[in-house]
Structure 1
Amino acid sequence: MLIGEVARHSGVSARMLRHYDALGLVRPTGRTVGGYREYSAEDVRRIFHVESLRSLGLSLKQIGRALDDPAFTPSALVGDLIQWTEDRLAREAELLERLRAIDASAPTGWQDVLRIVELMQGLNSTSAARRQQAILARPGDVSVPAELLAGAVLAESDTNVAGALRWALARSGGDGVATLAAGVHSEDVDIRRRAVLAIAELPEAPGATALLADALGDRDPMVRRQAALALGRRGVTAAVPTLVGMVVEGSNDVDAAEVLGTLSQDPGCADRITNALADELAVPTADSATRIRLAQALVELSGTPVREVLRQLAHDDDRAVALVASSFVGLLEERRRGCHKQGGRLVLTRDRPCLEEPMSAEHAHLPHGVEVITTLPGAADRIPAGAEARTVRVTLAPGDPGAPPHRHPGPLYGYVTEGEILFELEGEAPRVLKAGDALFEPGGDVIHYQGANNLADAQSQLVVTMFAPPGTPVLTVVSPEELAERRHLRVGG
């Protein structure tokens, strides 16, 4: 067969057949009298072998080795081809994603395209600081597709960068729910956690509540807890069992209690929540710390049944639980008398037991990651003239009872950084402060009764700043005689 006929039958151009001949890949067996290439049936078979191997992505050099070298086995070569093909597909998928992101941003000119490309490069940086800068420093007129931000949220492992991305996603003008929905059902638990946190900050996005409801059944407890908090804030009562469980476990129990309090404003849900908490209080295996947390959660609720449960708890056999419940009964009475008003928080102090602290305007628009934990009105009036500030770190081993009853020469303000502290001042019921809780102590004549590690198997720690006249001791231990004289001032004494 001459070259033209071979080209017609094989689909390989005459030019390519000449190229194969020049490389020695497929050389015709003979030539005509006139010098034209003449291909045998075996030559045509070799052409089809070459084309088959080309379809797998082999180079012509690799094809020559495959056909002529018996020691050249396909296993290693095919493995390399698979890896090369996967890499090429990944690059093309990345390019497609980038093009879609640019298209979704509706650019009006090439400058807009360049800005989106710059943002995408910043988000793909290996530096967390660079990724965070890319999202926070972008010009306000740059439209960023919500799906791009949602994808970045699911991939981000740095806590600070993730927070900035969620903030940007919530303000992007789109919802990104389609991408986040895939994250909710991912096999990777970290991706599911990131997805639920992001959806929680999209209260108006269509379909977000349904995704959170699905997450309530997730096998990961952290995913379930975050979904329950978000659903509870949206008024979804299906979150109640998980929220009650969070109080029992001590996992985000303060947040869970606040959400339960909000849900209890629905008359149809109030009794259900109260009964659920009361049932957990009655569990025989519940320890003191768990029952105190449940009592604290009850205070967030309202209504006669709550007061009755706390009144009964004030006579509990566990003294710490009884003291806390007794204190909470008094707190509810203050509320009933009208001390607690909408728009503020109830603040209890020694000299002003019912003080309304409005949320100040300067706290309303804080940057991401900045949170006012507590505010103490008139703090400057409590600091002695000429006082020095001392910052003290207290580390307590597991089960450490702390210092014996003592006094401090001036007021102190503190923050629990780790574990749990059983804290008691003269005139106040004992309470458990957990990591993240703030504390205040007036100092002076007030006796500090307890500052113990409430955990038997873990270290606890707090940091306090104390204001005291120079030269005075950090603390002075109170004698047994004075403790006996002032016992009537101790709650439950």
Structure 2
Amino acid sequence: MLIGEVARHSGVSTRMLRHYDALGLVRPTGRTAGGYREYSADDVRRIFHVESLRSLGLSLQQIGRALEDPAFTPSALVGDLIRWTEDRLAREQELLERLRAIDASAPGDWQDVLRTVELMRELDSTSAARRQQAVLARPEGESVPAELLAGAVLAESDPHVAGALRWALARSGGDGVAALAAGLRSEDAGIRRRAVLAIAEMPEAPGAVAVLGDALGDPDPTVRGHAALALGRQGVAAAVPTLVGMVVEGSHDVDAAEVLGTLSQDPERADRITTALAGELAAPTADSATRIRLIQALVELAGTSGPEILRRLAHDDDRVVALVASALLRVLEERSRTNRADEDS
């Protein structure tokens, strides 16, 4: 089979076939009377072997070794190819994200593109101060792509820089919630925590409440806690069980009690919250410290159920619990007398 016919059947150009011949990779076994290359069936099979290995990313030198050296084992080389391919895909994914961020900024001219690229470079700086200034020192009115800020929020570990990024994202006016929601699906609890903190600072953004509601089921208690505090401040009753759990566990319990107090302004919610706290107070596993936190949370609630529970606890077998309940009951009674006096006057 002459070179032109081989090229037509194999899809390999005559130029590449000559290159293979020059390298000694695929040498035709015969020549015609006129000196033209003549390929046998084995030569054509070798061409397909070469092309198959090229499709895996092997260099021609590596292919030559693989085909000629009987002791050549593919496992190490395939492992290297996997790592090189993963690195290349990571670089291309990073480039894709950068291009999407530039496109999302709706650049009007190349100066806009250059400003966005410069911001990307500053946000990638190893200096925390420089990353922070990249956000805080932006000219008034200059838009920053929400997707770019969201990505930076998810990657930022420095608390001061992260705060600046969340502040800028909340004021960007863009749809950063979708990008942050992707962070909540990460296996890394740190990324999920950064995502929920950022969404909590813009709870009125479209889709934020739904995303925070899903975060109530997160396996990480910190993520659940941030979501519950944000939802509770928005008046979402679904946050109540998590908030009560935060009081029990002593995790941001003061904040949780304050939010429960706000939610209790609704009489139906007040009964539900009081019942939940009372149930935890009666739990046999609740120690003194836990019961005291629950008592303090009861004081924050609206309605009359809280004082009634405190009166019973003033005679509790646990002396410390009884003393705290008595003291807080006096505070509530004094507050009630002051309120009545103000109403009468």
**Under a length normalisation based on structure 1, what TM-score does the superposition of the two structures give?**
0.64
Instruction: Write out aligned runs for 1:242-321 (5 A).
Output: 242-321=242-321
Task: Give the letter for the 2:329 counterpart.
Answer: V
Query: Where does structure 1 lack aligned partners over 5 or more consecutive residues?
Result: 341-493
| Preserved contact between residue 240 and residue 273 of structure 1 (Cα < 8 Å) | yes
Whole-Å separation in 2 of the counterparts to 1:45 and 1:11: 13
Task: Give the letter for the 2:151 counterpart.
Answer: G
4+ aligned runs moved over 6 Å, structure 1: none
Instruction: Write out aligned runs for 1:88-487 (5 A).
Output: 88-338=88-338
Deviations 1:175-218 (A, max 9, x none): 32222222223222222222222221121122222222222222
Q: Per the alignment, do residues 34 and 277 of structure 1 end up closer, same or farther by CA in structure 2, a change over 3 Å counting?
A: closer
Task: Give the letter for the 1:218 counterpart.
Answer: D
- Deviation, structure 1 residue 120: 1.5
Q: Per the alignment, do residues 305 and 46 of structure 1 end up closer, same or farther by CA in structure 2, a change over 3 Å counting?
A: closer
Residue number in structure 1 paired with 2:343: none
**Secondary structure at 1:106 match in 2:** coil
**Secondary structure at 1:147 match in 2:** helix
- Deviation, structure 1 residue 223: 1.9
| Preserved contact between residue 154 and residue 195 of structure 2 (Cα < 8 Å) | yes
Residue number in structure 1 paired with 2:82: 82
Q: Per the alignment, do residues 106 and 72 of structure 1 end up closer, same or farther by CA in structure 2, a change over 3 Å counting?
A: same
Q: Per the alignment, do residues 279 and 60 of structure 1 end up closer, same or farther by CA in structure 2, a change over 3 Å counting?
A: closer
Whole-Å separation in 2 of the counterparts to 1:18 and 1:282: 87
Q: Per the alignment, do residues 174 and 337 of structure 1 end up closer, same or farther by CA in structure 2, a change over 3 Å counting?
A: farther
| Preserved contact between residue 128 and residue 158 of structure 2 (Cα < 8 Å) | yes
Task: Give the letter for the 1:272 counterpart.
Answer: R
Whole-Å separation in 2 of the counterparts to 1:2 and 1:114: 54
- Deviation, structure 1 residue 284: 4.5
- Deviation, structure 1 residue 306: 2.2
Whole-Å separation in 2 of the counterparts to 1:249 and 1:148: 36
| Preserved contact between residue 112 and residue 142 of structure 1 (Cα < 8 Å) | no
- Deviation, structure 1 residue 105: 0.5
Task: Give the letter for the 2:77 counterpart.
Answer: L
Q: Per the alignment, do residues 304 and 43 of structure 1 end up closer, same or farther by CA in structure 2, a change over 3 Å counting?
A: closer
Residue number in structure 2 paired with 1:36: 36
Task: Give the letter for the 1:70 counterpart.
Answer: P
Richer in helix (by share): 2
- Deviation, structure 1 residue 97: 0.8
- Deviation, structure 1 residue 18: 1.8
- Deviation, structure 1 residue 174: 1.6
Whole-Å separation in 2 of the counterparts to 1:160 and 1:90: 28
Whole-Å separation in 1 of the counterparts to 2:11 and 2:317: 94
Whole-Å separation in 2 of the counterparts to 1:16 and 1:323: 91
Residue number in structure 2 paired with 1:56: 56
Instruction: Write out aligned runs for 1:16-27 (5 A).
Output: 16-27=16-27
Q: Per the alignment, do residues 22 and 280 of structure 1 end up closer, same or farther by CA in structure 2, a change over 3 Å counting?
A: closer
- Deviation, structure 1 residue 102: 0.2
Q: Per the alignment, do residues 285 and 34 of structure 1 end up closer, same or farther by CA in structure 2, a change over 3 Å counting?
A: closer
Task: Give the letter for the 1:67 counterpart.
Answer: L
Percent identity for Structure 1 against Structure 2 = 83
**Under a length normalisation based on structure 2, what TM-score does the superposition of the two structures give?**
0.90
Q: Per the alignment, do residues 206 and 32 of structure 1 end up closer, same or farther by CA in structure 2, a change over 3 Å counting?
A: same
Whole-Å separation in 1 of the counterparts to 2:245 and 2:36: 88
- Deviation, structure 1 residue 27: 2.1
| Preserved contact between residue 115 and residue 142 of structure 1 (Cα < 8 Å) | no
Query: Where does structure 2 lack aligned partners over 5 or more consecutive residues?
Result: 341-345
Residue number in structure 2 paired with 1:6: 6
- Deviation, structure 1 residue 308: 2.4
- Deviation, structure 1 residue 282: 3.3
Q: Per the alignment, do residues 12 and 275 of structure 1 end up closer, same or farther by CA in structure 2, a change over 3 Å counting?
A: closer
Residue number in structure 2 paired with 1:478: none
| Preserved contact between residue 267 and residue 303 of structure 2 (Cα < 8 Å) | no
Task: Give the letter for the 1:227 counterpart.
Answer: A
Task: Give the letter for the 2:5 counterpart.
Answer: E
**Secondary structure at 1:251 match in 2:** coil
Deviations 1:413-433 (A, max 9, x none): xxxxxxxxxxxxxxxxxxxxx
Deviations 1:87-124 (A, max 9, x none): 11111111111101000011112221122112222222
Whole-Å separation in 2 of the counterparts to 1:283 and 1:17: 82
Deviations 1:285-329 (A, max 9, x none): 533333332222122122222232333334444444344333333
Q: Per the alignment, do residues 78 and 236 of structure 1 end up closer, same or farther by CA in structure 2, a change over 3 Å counting?
A: same
| Preserved contact between residue 2 and residue 37 of structure 1 (Cα < 8 Å) | yes
